[in-house]
């Protein structure tokens, strides 16, 4: 079944690469400073491994940089979200391709958002999702134009990878999801997709650690699998919100997990993020629109200290043409052990996000971050080339 709302919604490009201004007091022309914030999903990150608890970091970082690129795991907080005009909401698979230089990001003013509901969602729970979509349209003006129900229940399965300790999973009927998305794309010309899959209900004991601010998010890994599938196939923004029966109230709930306990769905943040998520363009096969961003535009990347092994992190760190400043945060521990030292990556280690944001502020200002530290600037070195027996040798004096 499909229900359509015929709302013509224009899309406009938004140039972001150079900022120039002139007043009677000053003249300024500079390239925008762009930072990427990564907190991989389903890996039990101390900050960002729960219900949008990395969002305060993103808000602080966005106030320092000109453009912040990050992904749904950082910005989604179930019923909560925060608008940041200079933040780009980029799905994880697309962020990997962007970092590798394969895709470009095309910022826009507004997307046409389509909603896919799993046929396995019970009627009452489905109505709750639709009420959220209507509320987002009426109260926020979000462009959610149509929904469709899959022709077969997706049958979501989830588990913890015994090797890495991170959550993952699959859907047993991926073709049903792709058919539903294709219907929305072809019939209503949507260019962003929100998916709501029916997840198996949890025993309270299985999620006690997560609700108390410990352990890993058991849903997050397969959520990424679902959005990756759509983005890989259609190259448009996608994010997922799980449909679950409400859990019994807990009197000892961690603030980090509380955003998921205040409503019937996790859909509001997804619709808000997708409403103006950038579009994805394949490099060298599609014409680049004005204002498109490429990996070379990124000036700094910030990520947990032991989560450096992802495709995006490795691509940024190994960029031979223009390597951004890579900052790893000691305090944000995960279940992984992919440290920069083990991977042979050159990074700047900091203790916490306070320090990371200070480093980025200095970097943006064109200041060596070490000049802000006591005794971190040593005497300047000198390289000289002195002929010895007709041959040149280099000598470094420090």
What token pair was written down for 189? 């010309």
Closest CA relative to residue 271, chosen from 398, 383, 140, 149: 140
pLDDT digits (tens, 9 = 90+) for 67-82: 999 999 999 999 999 9
Give yes or no for residue 383 having a pLDDT over 90.
no
Collapsing DSSP states into helix, strand and coil, what is residue 77?
A: strand
Distance CA 90, CA 203 (A): 32
In order of 158, 219, 245, the CA distances from 201 in angstroms are 11, 11, 6
Entry pTM: 0.87
Place of tokens 């498109």: 292
| β-bridge mates for residue 69, sequence order | 36, 88
Contact 327, 369 (CB under 8 A): no
116 half-sphere exposure, CB direction, 13 A CA radius: 30
What is the pLDDT at residue 293?
Answer: 95
CA angle 257, 259, 264 (to 5 degrees): 120
**Tens digit of pLDDT for each residue in 361-376?**
999 999 999 999 888 8
């Amino acid at each position: 079944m499909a229900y359509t709302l015929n709302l013509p919604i224009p899309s406009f490009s938004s140039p972001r690469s150079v900022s120039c201004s002139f007043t009677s007091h000053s003249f300024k022309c500079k390239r925008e400073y762009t930072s990427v914030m990564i907190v991989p999903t389903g890996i039990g990150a101390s900050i960002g491994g729960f219900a949008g608890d990395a969002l305060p970091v993103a808000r602080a970082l966005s106030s320092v940089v000109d453009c912040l690129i990050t992904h749904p795991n950082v910005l989604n907080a179930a019923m909560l979200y925060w608008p940041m005009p200079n933040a780009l909401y980029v799905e994880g698979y697309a962020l990997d391709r962007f970092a590798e230089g394969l895709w470009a990001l095309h910022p826009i003013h507004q997307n046409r958002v389509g909603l896919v509901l799993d046929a396995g969602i019970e009627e009452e729970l489905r109505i709750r999702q639709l009420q959220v979509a209507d509320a987002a349209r009426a109260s926020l003006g979000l462009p959610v134009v149509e929904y469709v129900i899959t022709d077969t229940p997706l049958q979501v399965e989830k588990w913890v990878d015994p090797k890495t300790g991170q959550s993952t999973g699959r859907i047993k009927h991926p073709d049903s999801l792709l058919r539903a998305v294709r219907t929305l794309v072809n019939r209503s010309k949507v260019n962003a997709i929100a998916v709501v899959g029916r997840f198996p209900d949890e025993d309270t004991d299985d999620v006690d650690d997560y609700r108390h601010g410990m352990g890993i998010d058991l849903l997050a890994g397969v959520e990424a699998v679902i959005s990756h599938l759509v983005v890989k196939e259609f190259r448009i923004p996608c994010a997922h919100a799980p449909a679950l029966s409400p859990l019994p109230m807990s009197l000892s709930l961690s603030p980090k997990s509380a955003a998921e306990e205040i409503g019937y769905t996790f859909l509001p943040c997804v619709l808000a993020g997708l409403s103006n998520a950038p579009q994805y363009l394949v490099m060298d096969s599609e014409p680049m629109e004005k204002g498109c961003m490429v990996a070379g535009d990124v000036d700094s990347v910030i990520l947990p200290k032991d989560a450096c092994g992802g495709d995006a992190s490795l691509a940024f760190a190994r960029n031979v043409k223009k390597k951004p400043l890579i900052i790893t945060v000691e305090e944000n521990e995960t279940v992984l052990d992919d440290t920069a030292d083990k991977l042979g990556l050159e990074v700047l280690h900091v203790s916490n996000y306070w320090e990371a944001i200070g480093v980025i502020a200095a970097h943006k200002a064109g200041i060596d971050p070490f000049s802000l530290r006591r005794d971190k600037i040593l005497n300047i070195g000198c390289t000289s080339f002195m002929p010895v027996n007709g041959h040149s040798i280099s000598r470094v004096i420090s």
